[in-house]
Structure 1
Amino acid sequence: MGVNERKEKEKEVRRNDIIDASEKVIFSKGYDLATIEDIAREAEFSKRTIYVYFNSKEQLYFEIMVRGYRKLIQMMEAPVDEVSGVNALDQLKQFARTLYQFSKEYPDYFKAIMEYENGERDFVNGVPDQSKEECYLLGEKMFAYLTSALKNGIEQGVIRSDLDVVNSAIVLWSCTLGLFNTLIKKRNYIQHYHKRDSEELLLEGIDTLVRSIQSESRGKQYEK
């Protein structure tokens, strides 16, 4: 390995060490309470070193979301072969089930992505275009799973042909996030006062969303 290659490898290792430290701090303290000082202390680097690699805490948050999106996309791609040839309505259900599984296996990444998706600010200050674009592209890849399933469903005749694919995908994604947000944050309340299981309600909610877009003829035949 040449000198330049060795230096680049060392930079990449240090960069990943800083992101690792950022995850620990932000996951434990929350984004708003976490500081660059906390991250530098966890990484055992100076603040100056942190700023050599990253412009801001916002950029580090984007890097964390990139990691989370990559893991989520890996999980989404795993069952593609199993559902790609089946009914598009089942593909949409599988999408939601995989998202739920991701929330169980990687709760911290899921929370980071959810807080960003449901947040009022876009964390754009101090974030280089490259970091933003990578995160956005991964998010759009997730969105493409929805639009693809909707297009397939219209072609199969199981989803209403009058729907605008992009509009419907945005609404489905928003509604799905809303379900997750409510059923996770209010889990104890729902279980205590309504005697309902959040996981069962989530799957039932996804069924309701799917039924709202299926074609009338399919609605009479489709079984869960």
Structure 2
Amino acid sequence: MSLAKWKEREREQRQNDIIDAARKLLIDRDFDEVSMDEIAREVGLGKSTLYLYFKNKESLYFAIVLRGIRIWDKMIKEGVEKGNTGLEKFIAYGNANREFSTKYPDYFRLLYSPTSIKKQFDMDKMNSSEEFQEVRGLFKEIMSVGIDSIQKGIEDGEIRQDIDPVEAAILLSVIFNGKVNMGDWAKEMLENRGINEEKFNSDIGDLFLHMLKK
């Protein structure tokens, strides 16, 4: 292996170590509660070295989110490809969303952060972050897959003609957001009725399909 390739691999590994360390600290805490000093200590680096890999905390945060949304995007696209009709594709879309939230709950919570992004982050720094821009692009791709599935379902005659595909896809995203940020009181009410997370996820899908189908 050439020296240049060895250095590139070492840099990628160090970058991944930083992302892993930051993810552990950020998953259960608000963005402003975790400092770059703390992240540097967690990964065993000096703070100045940390800035050689990420120019600010916003870029590091969205590098974590980017890793998760790439997984999500891949799962969505692979799942939807298995469907033939628009309705089948949309069902696969919903199933892939649930699978991602179950298999990667930490990434899912970071993507649907409970605190407003505008309150958490310096917007100028966010907009200048390459990671943030890629996250936005992939999020739009994921939404487009759902929108296209609904539109195809309308054209196939399986989904109601009066449904707006964009509105429906955004509504589903809002439902997922609400589920992630659901209060303990709501979870307790569901548990008292014998409704666990798996059943609740299934019921959300059934109710949503009931709204869409002719």
Question: Given the two structures, how large is their TM-score scaled by the length of structure 1?
Answer: 0.80
3-state SS of the aligned residue for 2:14? helix
Equivalent residues in 2 for 1:149-168, closer than 5 Å: 149-168=149-168
Deviation of 1:103 after TM superposition, in Å, equals 2.0
- Structure 2 regions of 5+ residues with no counterpart? none
Task: Provide Cα deviations, 1:168-192, integer angstroms capped at 9, x if missing partner.
Answer: 3222322333245438884334203
Instruction: Rate the CA distance shift 1:172–1:17 in 2: closer, same or farther, 3 A.
Output: same
**Does the residue aligned with 2:116 lie in a helix, a strand or coil?**
coil
2:208 equivalent to 1:209? yes
Q: 1:151 to 1:75 in 2, by over 3 A?
A: same
Aligned to 1:200: 199
Residue type of the partner of 1:26?
A: L
Cα displacement (A) at 1:29: 4.3
Q: Are the equivalent residues in 2 in contact too, given 1:92–1:210 (CA < 8 A)? A: no
- Indicate yes or no: 2:117 matched with 1:121: yes
Counterpart-to-counterpart distance in 1, 2:186 and 2:55: 36
Q: Which sits farther off after the overlay, 71-80 or 44-53?
A: 71-80
Q: Read off the aligned partner of 1:110 and give its amino acid letter.
A: F
- The CA deviation string for residues 16-54 of structure 1, in whole angstroms up to 9 with x for no partner, is 221121112212545342221111011111111111221
- 1:221 corresponds in structure 2 to none
| Counterpart position of 2:79 | 79
Kept after mapping to 1: 8 A contact 2:21/2:42:
yes
The percent identity for this pair of structures is 29
Per-residue deviation, 1:57:
1.8
Q: 1:140 to 1:50 in 2, by over 3 A?
A: same
1:40 corresponds to: 40
Counterparts of 1:93 and 1:75, CA distance in 2: 13
- What is the rounded CA distance, in whole Å, between the counterparts of 1:208 and 1:189 in structure 2? 19
- Structure 1 unaligned regions, length at least 5: 219-224
Q: Report 1:154-193 matches (<5 A).
A: 154-182=154-182, 186-192=186-192
What TM-score, normalized by structure 2, do the two folds share? 0.84
Residue matched to 1:112: 110
Q: Is the 8 A contact 2:68 2:108 kept in 1?
A: yes
Q: For 1:160, what is the secondary structure of its paired residue?
A: coil
Q: Tell me the matched-pair count.
A: 210
Secondary structure of 2:33's aligned partner:
coil
Distance 1:8 1:177 in 2: 38
CA gap of 1:13–1:179, structure 2 versus 1, over 3 A, is closer
1:135 Cα deviation (Å)?
A: 0.8
